[in-house]
Amino acid sequence: MNTFGRNFRCTTFGESHGKAVGVVVDGCPPGISLTEADIQPYLDRRRPGKSPFESARQEPDRVEILSGTFEGRTTGAPIALVVRNRDVQSGDYDTLRDVFRPGHADYTYQAKYGLRDHRGGGRSSGRETLARVAAGAVAVRCLAPYGITVSGRVVEVHGATEPGAMEEEILAARDAGDSVGGIVEVTATGCPAGLGDPVFGKLDAAIAGAMMGIGAVKGVEIGEGFGAARLLGSEMNDPITGAGFLSNHAGGVLGGISTGQDIIVRIAVKPTPSIRRVQRTVNAAGVEREISVGGRHDPCIAPRIVPVAECMLALVIIDAMLEQAKYRGFGEE
């Protein structure tokens, strides 16, 4: 399951400490304006080492378009995007070769495959999201001519909701050798009504799957989300007038189909599992051990997940747009 999407298909490849990470995008419509300069800003927002709140790994994350464009426009052929890994310090993980880190995919990858790449988590590393961001940036370019935009922000860190307090929570956790989680909100604006398919192809189901496919995400809400369970029907329902909807408790999706309102998604991001604090675990032989994870890690993943979540939402929407094109033509209202 390294491929995402039905119509706008993205296959990611690469590991945290391998030679490169990248993606092949198949199904992108021809004639879309696209250069490395359109993709790079999204990768710059995701890349590590920009502030004290992030991993100190220094990666330029410069994207290369290997195929699928000609004279700055997409051709309809597969678009291959690659980013070379530069600042790799695999030696930091030598002590973890036969030890399972609590909260990581080490144990489950070993159980499934019988082996794992212990260097930075290999394929399960957050660095894999770089490929999703590159593909999502292409999706954003495809959506732009139709006035569809996607934006995101961190709305909470360890219970704090004010920017200064959020920073304090992250720094305090970092200094204590620990980590904190947060909540990220992503909004798609300008989507036409009618996207998504009933029953098993619901737009909100696709969004939830896309968000849960991001490492460290443990919960998804659309619109009121879990808050809907505490409302009356008269409070939850969005009244409709000749001028449109009067509220948006549904988060832009009804019956699995977009309403034309903003699509509002929130995701719960767990604390970074790699921490310096001593934790209990076992090694590959089942012998109990204590572990303190060194290396370079984010004390809070939430800020760097924002562009990832934006791009995953963009991928879902462009896929739904192309599906709708089978009924009305791409971009038609």
- pLDDT tens across 131-188, in order? 999 999 999 999 999 999 999 999 999 999 999 999 999 999 999 999 999 999 999 9
Once rounded to an integer, what is the mean pLDDT over residues 79-83? Answer: 97
Residue 226 lies in a domain: yes
3-state DSSP helix/strand/coil percent for the chain, to nearest 5? 35, 25, 40
Residue 333 lies in a domain: no
Residue 91 lies in a domain: yes
Residue 12 structural domain:
3-328
Once rounded to an integer, what is the mean pLDDT over residues 260-273? Answer: 96
pLDDT of residue 91 exceeding 90? no
Alpha helices in 188-283 (DSSP H): 203-212, 233-236
Q: What is the CATH number of the domain that holds 219?
A: 3.60.150.10
Residue 41 lies in a domain: yes
Residue 97 is given by DSSP the state T
Rg (CA), the chain: 21
Nearest C-alpha neighbor of 82 from the set 67, 65, 70, 68 = 65
Once rounded to an integer, what is the mean pLDDT over residues 318-332? Answer: 80
pTM over 0.75? The answer is: yes
Residue 136 lies in a domain: yes
Kindly give, in sequence order, each residue whose CB lies less than 8 Å from that of residue 127, ignoring residues fewer than 6 positions away.
14, 15, 16, 21, 85, 120
Question: How many structural domains are present in the chain?
Answer: 1
φ and ψ of 74, to 5 deg: -70, 145
The total number of residues written for the chain in this structure: 333
Chain Cα centroid distance, residue 147: 22
Quick check: 205 and 277 in contact, CB under 8 A?
no
Once rounded to an integer, what is the mean pLDDT over residues 238-250? Answer: 96
Residue 43 CA to residue 308 CA, distance in Å, equals 9
Return the number of other C-beta atoms located less than 10 Å from residue 204's C-beta.
23
DSSP string computed for 48-63: S-SSTTS--------E
The predicted structure's pLDDT at residue 153? 98
